[in-house]
Chain A
Amino acid sequence: MDFLSAIRAEESGGAPEPAALDARRLRTLQSVGMLCGLTAGAWLGAAEAPTKLVTLGLSPVVISLGMVIGVFLARWTLPALIQGTSYVAADLRQAPHLIVWAILAGCLWAVANTLTIFAVRDVGLSIAFPLWNSNSLLGIFWGILFFQELRGADWRRWVGVLGGAALMFAGATALAIASAAQVPARDAVRGVAAALAAGVLWGTMYIPYRKAYLTGMSPLSFITFFTVGELGMMTALAVTYSGGVSPLWSQLSGARHVLFWLLAGGFVWVVGDLFQQYAVKYAGITRGIPLSNTNQLWGLLWGILVFGELHGASRSVLSQVIGGSIVMALGAGVIALSSVSRGEHARWQRAAAAEGKRYGVDPEYTQSRIAGENAGSIVRGRSWIDWLIVGVATATIVGFALVARAPQIALAPGWVAVLVVLTLGMLAAAGVSLWRATRFN
């Protein structure tokens, strides 16, 4: 360790100076992270489609719980299929403290999601959405404050990330105003408070995300415990707001014909969220989260093209939609071009080394995983437990599909096909790139 390294080690809490990644490898990881962010936007937007098929009349908390059940099934099935539970277990043995962080993040998500339901009820989507969409701005703040993001970056990257996020925020506001249903405001103060609180909760949820990925954990391992917090907190909230276990059970039984669509929505949402987590890991919060917030654009595309929303809307509304979409896409483009420099990445590595040292994580594990490589001691392999998990989850989904009723809603099948092909294409492109570059580490 030379003298400069010793000073840097002192700055990072005494952790040894990690070796810098070569420029080519860094570019590859950055590109994959950005592609994951954009794919996350497409899948998170598509997740809204199945929920539109659900007939009205269900309690918002039951809708949310139905989706979270689908989310829970997907969050255990996908890791079991892709890496195997032995890989997840080995990952958790390296950094067991992250179980607490994952459960905490899941709790934050569940409370935020419930708050958005109340916010939409009280002030409508046009006011609520931009308020909770501020989560990416808060995420950027935590990234800079706690995890050395944008430190060591030149002014163009600072302007690119902050300017791009501001552009996306402006575009999202225009889209939300244009696409909002004319919901009368019931209680403006409470609605605004709920939307802002949801934004703060989601923005803060990126602290556990980044903490896990700086340490080196695979997103596939993190989500298995994230969903325990998610389902536990959502069940507690659903029981509380439904008036007890029996009323909740009877509501769920009454909704069994539409539960499949909610589960499907949850499953699609998990695919998007998984890519969002990889985007945070390889592009950082400051780039990954704004890019995955393009989900609003995709949700709007599904709404307009497939479900005929905004049909017969005025010229001013349509121009707001087109203008908002262009501004949002521009913001995403600016962020995507503000890639991480070697200097900034070196600061990330120092933050990772300090994190590993604090919790006694093997430095070799942290260093290899932040570079998207496999840690030597962890092997992949599927056992009968994995196939059991996949079998039970599949049987549950098939069971709900058998009792599901076909939706009574007008669709544009041609546009469904176009959007499905596009979304699957992005999945294939991001999945293959991620596998080639990182083996899903």
Chain B
Amino acid sequence: MKVTTECDWLLRDGASPCQYCPPTAKVRQMTDDRREQHSRSWLGLVLRDVQFWVPVAVLIGGLLVLRWIS
């Protein structure tokens, strides 16, 4: 699990949430640097997304059918 709050380190180790997480625990925001890094690599993220290859495969199949029937 991705760590998003100060207490998630503790949660990951199996601790009870009420034992370690004060209600004031701050959520760590994604930094601008991290977001920029994401933006730079969005093409790689698309290519690694399994759902992307479903429409690509269907498109290739459609073009092959079109070639066959015409």
Q: Is A149 an interface residue (CB 8 A)?
A: no
| Across-interface contacts of B39 in A (CB, < 8 A) | 96, 360
A59 within 8 A of B: no
- Mark A87-98 against chain B: 1 for CB-CB distance below 8 A, else 0: 000000000110
Closest to B2 in A: A14
CB pair B65–A194 under 8 Å, yes or no, is yes
Pairwise interchain contact A16-B4, C-beta atoms closer than 8 A: yes
Query: How would residues 1 to 37 of chain A score, 1 for a CB under 8 Å from any chain B CB and 0 otherwise?
Result: 1110010011001111000000000000000000000
A362, B8: Cα distance in complex, Å:
20
By a CB distance below 8 angstroms, the chain B residues around A405 are: none
Pairwise interchain contact B66-A118, C-beta atoms closer than 8 A:
yes
Per-position 1/0 for B28-70, Cβ under 8 A of A: 0010001101110011011001011011101101110110111
Task: Please tell me which one of the listed residues B7, B43, B69 contacts residue A97 in the complex, with CB atoms under 8 A apart.
Answer: B43
Q: How near does chain A come to B34, taking the closest CB pair, in angstroms?
A: 7
On whether A193 and B68 interact (CB within 8 A), knowing A14-B4, A97-B46, A205-B55, the answer reads: yes
Q: Indicate whether B16 reaches chain A with its CB closer than 8 angstroms.
A: yes
Task: Tell me whether B17 and A2 are in contact (CB under 8 A).
Answer: yes
Report B47 CB to chain A, min CB distance, Å: 9
Among B7, B54, B58, max chain A CB count under 10 A is at B58
C-alpha spacing A97/B55, complex, angstroms: 15
Give chain A residues whose Cβ lies under 8 Å from the Cβ of B59: 104, 107-108, 111, 201
Q: Which residue of B lies closest to A6 (CB)?
A: B11
Q: Is A249 an interface residue (CB 8 A)?
A: no
A57 to chain B minimum Cβ distance, whole angstroms, is: 20
Could you tell me if A359 and B70 are in contact, using CB atoms closer than 8 angstroms?
Answer: no
Q: Are A359 and B58 in contact (CB under 8 A)?
A: no
Distance, CA A153 to CA B45, complexed state (A)? 31
Contacts of A108 in B (CB 8 A): 55, 58-59, 62
Contacting pair A200 B61 (CB below 8 A): yes
Report chain B residues within 8 Å CB of A6: 1, 8, 11, 17
Q: Once the chains bind, are B38 and A200 in contact (CB under 8 Å)?
A: no
Let me know if A197 is at the binding interface, CB within 8 A.
yes
Interface residues of A in 251-291 (CB under 8 A from B): none
In the complex, what residue of chain B is closest to A147 when comparing beta carbons? B51
CB-CB contacts below 8 Å: B1-23 with A: 1-2, 4-5, 7-8, 11, 16-17, 21
Contact B70 A100 (CB under 8 A): no
Residues in A whose Cβ lies below 8 Å from that of B55 = 104-105, 108, 204-205, 207-208
The answer to whether residues A359 and B42 also contact, given A111-B59, A197-B61, A200-B58 and a CB cut-off of 8 A, is yes
Q: Which residue of A is nearest B42, CB measured?
A: A97
Which residues on the B side are within 8 Å of A112 (C-beta)? 62
Chain B residues with a Cβ under 8 A of chain A: 1-2, 4-5, 7-8, 11, 16-17, 21, 27, 30, 34-35, 37-39, 42-43, 45-46, 49, 51-52, 54-56, 58-59, 61-63, 65-66, 68-70
Residues in A lying within 8 Å of B, measured CB to CB: 1-3, 6, 9-10, 13-16, 96-97, 100-101, 104-105, 107-108, 111-112, 114-115, 118, 122, 142, 146, 187, 190-191, 193-194, 197-198, 200-201, 204-205, 207-208, 211, 237, 241, 357-360, 362-363
What are the 3 tightest A-B residue pairs by CB atom distance, in nearest-first order?
A360-B38, A14-B2, A97-B42
Given contact pairs A108-B58, A194-B69, a sample of 20 additional A-B residue pairs in the complex whose CB atoms are under 8 Å apart: A1-B7, A3-B16, A3-B17, A9-B4, A15-B2, A97-B42, A97-B46, A104-B55, A111-B63, A112-B62, A115-B62, A118-B70, A122-B69, A190-B68, A193-B68, A197-B61, A205-B55, A211-B51, A241-B70, A357-B2
